[in-house]
Amino acid sequence: MSTVPDDLPEARPAALLRPAGRSRPARVLFDGPERVWEAYRDTLPRALAEAGVLATVSRDLSPEETDWIVYAPGGRITDFSPYRQARAVLSLWAGVELIVVNPTLTQPLARMVDPGLTQGMVEWVTGHVLRHHLGLDRHIRRTEPRWEPSPPPLATERPVTVLGLGELGLACALALTGLGFPVTGWARSPKDERRLARVFTGRDGLAPALTGAEIVVLLTPLTRLTENLMDAERLRLPRRGFVLLNPGRGALIDDAALLAALDEGQVGHATLDTFRQEPLPPDHPFWSHPRVTVTPHIAAETRPETAARAIAENIRRGQAGEPLLHLVDRRAGY
């Protein structure tokens, strides 16, 4: 379960960031697993240099020496309170549910918005939407010669709903709109977005957003308000036999309710990229269910080259006293 406690301490205001002195380089602590460090060991210093930032990047800075923390889940820091000099924590992940609940985190936290990650998500979502829209499986998996000319409807006749209109969700919704699909979007907070067929917001907007959809894409952040967003009740709202795509977060779905809806035929197929436990255990029923496709959390991967430039830009801004980009509202959870 991933929730944001109500009693988290206030985060240090980002507005308190002041231009750094020019007497020494910015000291950047990279906190992440060894395999991630290997991908950024040369890439991040190069991106900082290209951004005009004089900086040193290391995995072995003391709290007193640390100006910036670049964070990836699986790193060594669990207690951020000694890092009083750190001006911000810059996440390499778009999702921040694993760090935002840490009560010792009072530094400003910035999530990753990476063009490479966004492009990867758009490609995964459009690819799987088109797979199900065109009915490709029955041709690819044909086991005997059978000539059955039954063309699919046009995209304009296939209503799609995207839950979550943040950076990733909106990019996917607009890509599908460009292909002709009538896309309904849903967001927790009001969105002035007129390029989609319809937009609903708030808890009251969930039911009308889902009703009648033939394909549903989950791209909301995981918070205490979105956990089990697709429960037994909401799984009944789209059109019978609808397709569910989840490249967002595993806990957005009630697994037991989804399996029941698949067995009953309310859900025609579920293509899932994220799970409550990863790697997905070998004995999990999703692996063997005939109407479930499992992909191993590959929908959108942070690309070191583009992500390093995003990190470097935020450090450049902070060093110059400019506002940081993509700051997280810790109480909202994203």
Q: Which domain holds residue 143?
A: 115-294
pLDDT of residue 15: 43
Longest dimension (CA), the chain: 75
Mean pLDDT for each 10-residue chunk of the chain (334 residues)? 55 56 83 97 98 97 98 96 98 92 96 94 98 95 86 97 97 98 96 95 97 98 94 98 98 98 98 97 98 96 93 97 95 83
Q: Are residues 121 and 205 in the same domain?
A: yes
Q: Are residues 137 and 154 in the same domain?
A: yes
Instruction: Using alpha carbons, select from 196, 198, 174, 201 the residue that is nearest to residue 186.
Output: 201
CATH of the domain at 39: 3.40.50.720
Q: Are residues 250 and 310 in the same domain?
A: no
Q: Are residues 106 and 158 in the same domain?
A: no
Q: Are residues 102 and 191 in the same domain?
A: no
Q: Are residues 74 and 165 in the same domain?
A: no
Q: Are residues 257 and 308 in the same domain?
A: no
171 membership: H or E segment, kind and range? helix 167-178
pLDDT of residue 146: 87
Q: Are residues 260 and 151 in the same domain?
A: yes
Residues identified as active-site: 249, 297
Whether the CB-CB separation of 19 and 320 falls below 8 Å is answered with yes
User: Which CB contacts under 8 angstroms, 24+ apart, belong to 187-193?
Assistant: 188/220, 188/225, 188/226, 191/165, 193/165
Task: Say how far apart CA 253 and CA 258 lie, in whole Å.
Answer: 7
Please name every residue paired with 327 in a beta bridge, in sequence order, or none if there are none.
110
Instruction: Give the strand pairing for 160-163 and 109-110.
Output: unpaired
pLDDT of residue 16: 47
pLDDT of residue 142: 80
Task: Say how far apart CA 209 and CA 229 lie, in whole Å.
Answer: 13
Structurally, the chain folds into a number of domains equal to 2
Q: Is 332 inside a domain boundary?
A: no
> pTM for the complete prediction?
0.86
Q: Is 3 inside a domain boundary?
A: no
Q: Are residues 21 and 166 in the same domain?
A: no
Q: Are residues 122 and 105 in the same domain?
A: no
Whether the CB-CB separation of 284 and 309 falls below 8 Å is answered with no
